[in-house]
Structure formats: C-alpha cells, structure tokens
Amino acid sequence: MTLRIGVIGTGMIGSDHARRIQTVLAGASIVALSDVNIDGARAVQSEIAPDAVLYSTGEELIASPDVDAVLITSWGGTHAQYVLAAIAAGKPCFCEKPLATTADDARRIVDAEVAYGKRLVQVGFMRRYDAGYRLLKKVVDSEIGTPLMVHTAHRNPTVPEQYVTPMAIHDTLIHEIDVFRWLLDDDYVSAQVVFPRASRHSHAKLADPQIVLFETKKGVRIDVEIFVNCRYGYDIQCQVVGEEGLANLPEPMAIVTRKDAKVQNAILTDWKDRFVDSYDVELADFIQAASRGTAAGPSSWDGYVASITSDACVEAQEKAGQIIDIALPERPSLYN
Ligand code: NAI
Ligand code: ISE
C-alpha cells in the first residue's frame, strides 16, 4: 500500500521533503499540497508532484479522505494549529521543528495526543537519525564510562539579516536541546547563557557568539557555543567526556588532499548537505510508522520538553549570567 501524504508549507524544507518522498524513498507518494503562497505550492506541484491536488487551506488538506498522513513544514508559528487538526482527524503527521512556538501550545498537542490514546506525531529532530550521532550514542552507552561533561558547538557561516538573538535558541540550539537528551538519556535542570566578546560580523539585534551552559538531572554539564557568523563553514562539534575516556562526533566524510605543502579537507557550508542523509532516514521512519497508523521517533513529548527548555534559554539570554531552573511536568505513560 502506498501512503498518501499531503504537505502543508511548500517552502524550502517542505519542497525538499516532498522531493525525497517522490524520488528517494519508497512506500509513499505526495498527493496533496497547500501553502498560503499558492504559487509556491503550484511550483512544487509542477516540478515534483504533478498528480498532487492543491488545497487552499491546511485544514482542508488534513480533512481530505484522499490524504492518509500529513507533513507540516510551514512557518513555525503555524505548526500547532495543523498538528492539532491532524490529531483531531486521527492522521499521523510529521511536524518540522519547532513543534510549537509556545510551551502552552506544545502542551495542548501532548494532551490531545494522550486523549487520542496513540502516538500520531513525529517531530523533525533529524539529528537522532544522523549516522554520526548514532555511532556516538553507541560509544557513549558502552565504552567511555559514565558521561560527565559535553563540549559542543553549532556554527553557521552566516545567517539572514532578520535572524535575531532569540532565534539562536528557537531556530538553532533547539537541535542540540533535543539531541543531548537523547544522547545522554537525561533531562535538563537548568540553563545559563553568557555572551563573549561580539563578532564584528554580527549586528545590533544579534548577540553572536553565545555560550549556553546546561546542567542535567544526572549532573552532566554541557556547554554549547552558538556562533552563527563564524564565516568559515557549517560546523557541528560534539565531544562527550566520560569517566573512562572521551568520544567525538565524527566529522562529515571529506577527501583529504596533500598539496603545496599542506594537508587539507573541505568543510561543509550548508546545513542541508550536513544532514541530507538523516532527513532521508527520519522520513523513511515516518512513512513506516504512518503506514501502520501511528508515529515513531521524536515525539510530541520531546517537542514539548524542547519548548520548555527553549523558553528557559531565552529567559537566560535576557538575564545574562543568571542560572534559570528548568522544571518538567510528569511524562504521560504514552511516551515511556
Ligand atoms: P520557508 O519560509 O522556506 O517555508 C515555509 C513555507 O510555509 C512558506 O512557503 C510559507 O508561505 C508557508 N506558510 C506560512 N504560513 C503558512 C500557513 N499558515 N499555512 C500554510 N503554509 C504557510 O521556511 P523553511 O526554511 O522551509 O522552514 C519551514 C519549517 O521547517 C520551520 O519551522 C523551520 O524551523 C523548519 N526547518 C527545519 C530544518 C531542520 O533542519 N530540521 C531546517 C530548516 C527549516
Ligand atoms: C536551521 O533552521 C536548521 O534547522 C538547521 O538544521 C540548523 O543547523 C541551522 O542552524 C538552522 O538555522
């Protein structure tokens, strides 16, 4: 059986996910498209999914009897309304990060899914599907002893002019927020943000770089450097220090050359290239689970915890240097 998928939000990542469903992955087909910018949806229809039907609203697409499952890749502020509509219709949905832009909306989604009684939502935290992170997790779980500290960096060469200080949390750090919980099987108890000397490549509304310091329930200390005007490339670093040794996230595969008295390899510059394989694997997981009428992978609960943690981090930015406590509600058994 082919899973019939509808896409809400046909911008950059929506069209890219539509392309991978149509041309890379098995078991699903794009049958419906919707975007507030109908020309964008039409362009995806003509280039990627000529048989897909255009819907003027996301709600109509979700309600269509011809749609089995939904991909929500519109702007972050619109995710919650569509996820709630998909749950109400009993349809599995893949929602790009963030699950919601407020913790209250994320909680509403958790409550609706719990009331439905079965998982229907997968959140687009693709790093859990990255081969390098999976290898790192295996080593952390079995070879380096109890994890004590994690040193990490999320660096982008540049960001658009409209990228401002809180986006370093909502847009960028959110991937780290999720992946460390999964990597360490832990949760956060506090966050602190400190600001080093600012880069001259930034602007008045963006404090860049920033350092976020987390403490976890198990007492692990994590430092994350977020530096989104680092110039030299897109660079994700992660080093876990354990009682018996340490483990580093592998570098992306690259050819090493020896030439002109130099040993060199290229560094990626675009996050799309860095995580291209993990987007494929996360969507393959979605297709498999949605074909059984459910969802797997990062859950609404993970999206909710990421929202609570993000809010604490933004508060920590606003109160630079102060330690902000992070308190999580009890996890419903659906997510155990
Ligand atoms: P984009 O701006 O290229 O596309 C968003 C699309 O949503 C636009 O076509 C816009 O017209 C449409 N849209 C806005 N409001 C809508 C509504 N109410 N109903 C239907 N469509 C609506 O943005 P991009 O980069 O594709 O990001 C989309 C989402 O994906 C964001 O939440 C972003 O954080 C996430 N994302 C995730 C990445 C990852 O690595 N997992 C990478 C990039 C984006
Ligand atoms: C972007 O929005 C993403 O989600 C990418 O995965 C991330 O690495 C990048 O820094 C964000 O701006």
Domains of the chain in start order, with CATH, are: 3-126+277-298 (3.40.50.720), 128-271+306-335 (3.30.360.10)
Q: Which atom of ligand 2 is nearest to the CA of 236?
A: 8
Whole-model pTM above 0.95?
yes
Give the Cα separation of 299 and 173 in Å (integer): 18
Separation in Å, CA 311 to CA 215, 301, 318: 16, 15, 11
Task: Tell me the Ramachandran region of residue 132: left when phi exceeds 0, alpha when psi lies from -120 to 50, beta otherwise.
Answer: alpha
- Number of neighbours of residue 248 by Cβ within 10 angstroms: 13
* Residue bearing the CA closest to ligand 2, atom 5: 271
- Number of neighbours of residue 261 by Cβ within 10 angstroms: 5
* Residue bearing the CA closest to ligand 2, atom 10: 172
Ligand 2 touching residue 175 (CB < 6 A): yes
Ligand 2 touching residue 271 (CB < 6 A): yes
CA 149, 154, 158: angle at the middle one, nearest 5?
160
Ligand 2 touching residue 156 (CB < 6 A): yes
pLDDT reported for residue 1: 87
Give the Cα separation of 62 and 78 in Å (integer): 14
Output the tens digit of pLDDT for each of the chain's 336 residues: 899 999 999 999 999 999 999 999 999 999 999 999 999 999 999 999 999 999 999 999 999 999 999 999 999 999 999 999 999 999 999 999 999 999 999 999 999 999 999 999 999 999 999 999 999 999 999 999 999 999 999 999 999 999 999 999 999 999 999 999 999 999 999 999 999 999 999 999 999 999 999 999 999 999 999 999 999 999 999 999 999 999 999 999 999 999 999 999 999 999 999 999 999 999 999 999 999 999 999 999 999 999 999 999 999 999 999 999 999 999 999 999
Give the Cα separation of 12 and 272 in Å (integer): 10
Ligand 1 touching residue 9 (CB < 6 A): yes
Give the Cα separation of 207 and 317 in Å (integer): 9
pLDDT reported for residue 160: 95
Ligand 1 touching residue 216 (CB < 6 A): no
- Phi/psi of residue 29, each to 5°? -145, 145
Per-position b or e across 8-27, b if 16+ CB within 10 A of its CB: bbbeebbbbbbebbbeebee
28-34 vs 3-8, strand pairing mode:
parallel
The CA 12 to ligand 1 mean position distance, Å, reads: 7
For a mutational test of ligand 1's pocket, the pick from 12, 62, 130, i.e. the residue with the most ligand atoms closer than 8 A to its C-beta, is 12
Give the Cα separation of 111 and 323 in Å (integer): 29
